[in-house]
Chain A
Amino acid sequence: MRGLIASGGYVPYRRLDRRTIAAVAGAGGGSGTRAVASYDEDTTTMAVEACRVALGAAQGVDPAALWFATTMPAYADRTNATAIHAALRLGSEVIAADAAGAVRSGVAALRAALLAPEPAIVATADLRTGLPGSADEATGGDGAAAVVVGDEADGAVVAEYLGGASATGEFLDRWRAPGELRSKLWEERFGEGRYSALGEEAWERAVKRTGVTDADVLVVVGTHARAAAALTKRLAGTGTTVADTLAASVGHTGAAHPLLSLTAALEAAHPGQVIALVSLADGADVFVFRTTAALADRRTARTVAAQIAAGGPIAYGKFLTWRGLLTVEPPRRPEPARVSASAAGRSVAWKFGFVGSRDAATGEVRMPPAVAGADPGAVLEPAPMAGVAGTVATYTVDRLAYSPSPPVMFAVVDFDGGGRLPVELTDADPDGVAIGMRVEPTFRRLSTADGIHNYFWKVRPLRG
């Protein structure tokens, strides 16, 4: 039996109320909210968060491959998945590679992993941008999702892959030049017609292969909302539950949306249900799963629903500055220097993996790790801290320091079981910081200089 061993979603903390858009942009918006990646997040950092949830649920599974899909890679020409690989502390024998550029990359990576003979983690993440007032701005959302794929021998499968099918077509519905912040769209009716035909074609093919004619749970996602809605109506049987694809709360998260919606559906599913995932993006891709009894053992506290419920608001103006659409005066301080590639290369375990050291005899935890040899008698062990919560010992709010989004919130954090680190605090409001506050590590992009992204860990309030 092959299928999904675990899944995990990541919905960033901030929510933009769509009703606030039109007052500024003059048009656009709508009802509900969209999820907004923080200024210190990108598709790489969000993928790390989703993978941590998925791998946390799939304890003990060793993936042989990490496939990362996004339409908004943080880097071009070099692999982004290697940073995710480092943050997850995967072994060097694990291949990490990107499938970047198009929304369809996400399901393509899932298909490749399902059809391969080895365990893999598929990470998908996206930042969805559009010009102020556009439909993409309002209906898009930022987020990530990851699944651990493998055979029963790799780990208990929670959703057996029964089979699937694709249909591919070359037509222009949406397009964007690399590096631009907006996509352009062809007249809506044209794409709707093509997606309808391709969706039905792929579905028929999947029915033939799997023998499943009616799904218990139907998850239809697509970049073309009308086409997805119309196809949902046609494919839903009388006993079918149509899954919430998070349009009202998160928005469409591009390459991440099939797995994010599937993750939310799995979190709500019961053992023995057939779940069909249909994705419309430059064609149609159908995946049919049946949940197993192991589903109950793989529950995570960090469900998509819980993350949606825990969001905090962001003003539209701040959202625009975070996306680079509104440039505000920066603090008059020197911008950070670029990271040294060789210095970062020496400290991958600390910088990306958040691994300190623990003295084997005394148990003392040091962050960053102690320098070997400073205490000749000491035996130093790795102390992985990414999953360890902590408490704020003291704090400050720095309105002078350079930050991509001032002010800088900063806390001295004492980690449970030992270890202290003065570290930046994120996903919080300056007035909400207090001594004794509980926090947890989160992988972030501190700044960018000379095109080099400075990835490291911050802490965020422990929620829920």
Chain B
Amino acid sequence: MSSHGIKDRVAIVGMGCTRFGEHWDKGADELLVEAANEAFATAGVDKDGVDAYWVGTAQSGMSGMLLSKPLELTGKPVVRVENMCATGAEALRQAAYAVASGAYDTAMAIGVEKVKDSGYQGLNAAPIPNDGTPRTLTAAAMFSMIVPAYSHKYGVDQAEIKEVLARIASKNHANGALNPRAQFRKPMTVESLLAMPPVAGTLSVFDCAGVADGSAAAIVVRAEDAHRFTDRPLYVKALSSVAGNGQGLLDPDYDYTTFPEIVACAADAYRQAGITDPRRQLAMAEVHDCFTPTELVLMEDLGFAERGTAWKEVLAGAFDLHGDLPVNPDGGLKSFGHPVGASGLRMMFEAWLQLRGEAGERQVDTARGLALTHNLGGYPGEMVSFISVLGSALG
């Protein structure tokens, strides 16, 4: 496979992130301007100093004009990016590769989603005309199918697995409680989470990501230019993207306890970054906890735990804020909600804060110097995956 990556050739030198939440008083325009301005300020550039823009949104707008109009950009290349829930991350990948190619000196990746104008709870994809045969389950129900499959395969009884999932939600809520940009800032005990009624399979509403509006942005330059913008840049170690082909929907060998797209994406990312033991080399990870069973399976697919053992590691606190490998130290999708176009960049924003020592009460030990962010879009059996590895030092 000729996926060479761009290790240490591009750096993030500025970032911005709005508070995530129900922004009844802000539209996509206001959210974009707020995130962009914070990124400009941290990088010490203005909008004319950025040569090219990629704006990620799943369904809050069309084309680059989603950004060029509110930012009042003149004569700039601005392109809209969409890749389901990996949309924001993909904007960063596009911007970084454009800079690495030499086509531009400075580029911005920005993501936004205005979810709360739909009038419905949860995320609702815009319908594409079809023959009426694709299933119409909610994402919660699709991911809930992991629970009986995992519990069946590894012999973890239903009560125990429910506790594991509640433990994941409780951890992410505890982290989010420490984060002023999170949507939900209330700690939740395992006991209170276990008492919630099911809405999809055995999942309760509190096993699901929140639903929020938000925007986040990053400015990237060539690595050699990074110190002209900031003393503490984040170097891009790996950017990996894999689109599944839906094989899991067709193949009786797929057992709903793993996401093969993530496994392939992780192998590529670790190869690009030169990582051989992610559990011990990473200082932190931001992963796509759209639903609690997703985070459970991701711990194994990303190589943080052996197959069939993630549930034990979760109970042992391995992924807690000050555990062996902190996962979702910012509170995750659980606490932030999931404005689809913004989430990937919001995760990188936490890596930005943590690796620069700016995470305040949530600050974890970052001596290992590497952070991973991960997004997935789609459902078990058919998904896209994105992984970035970012580092605080070259080499």
Contacts and interface: CB of A to CB of B under 8 A. Distances in A.
A396 B251 CA distance: 19
9 contacts: A340-B129, A350-B133, A368-B133, A397-B200, A400-B199, A402-B136, A410-B137, A420-B249, A435-B149
A394 B141 contact: no
B148 A394 contact: yes
Contacts of B124: 333-334
Given A340-B130, A396-B137, 7 more contacts: A337-B127, A395-B148, A397-B141, A399-B199, A399-B200, A400-B140, A410-B135
Q: How large is the interface on A (under 10, 10 to 19, 20 to 34, 35 or more residues)?
A: 35 or more
A399 B141 CA distance: 8
Contacts of B130: 339-340, 343
B67 to A, nearest CB: 27
B138 A333 contact: yes
B250 A412 contact: no
A343 B131 CA distance: 5
A344 B136 CA distance: 16
Contact of A343 (B129, B250, B252, B255): B129
Interface residues of B, number: 35
Nearest to B125: A334
A421 B252 CA distance: 9
A379 to B, nearest CB: 18
Contacts of A347: 131, 133
B120 A393 contact: no
A423 interface: yes
Contacts of A236: none
B297 to A, nearest CB: 13
B137 A401 contact: yes
Contacts of B131: 339-340, 343-344, 346-347, 350-351
A313 interface: no
A398 B200 contact: yes
B256 A351 contact: no
Given A344-B132, A401-B136, A422-B381, A394 B149 contact: yes
B135 A332 contact: no
A446 B135 CA distance: 10
Given A339-B132, A394-B149, A456-B133, A410 B141 contact: yes
A431 to B, nearest CB: 12
B215 interface: no
A396 to B, nearest CB: 4
A366 interface: yes
Interface string B110-134: 0000000000111010010111110
Interface string A411-441: 0101000111111100000000001000000
Contacts of B137: 396, 398, 401, 408, 410
Contacts of A346: 131
Contacts of A455: 132
A423 B135 contact: yes
Closest 4 interchain pairs by CB?
A398-B141, A339-B132, A340-B129, A337-B127
B145 interface: yes
A454 interface: yes
Given A333-B124, A333-B138, A454-B132, A393 B256 contact: yes
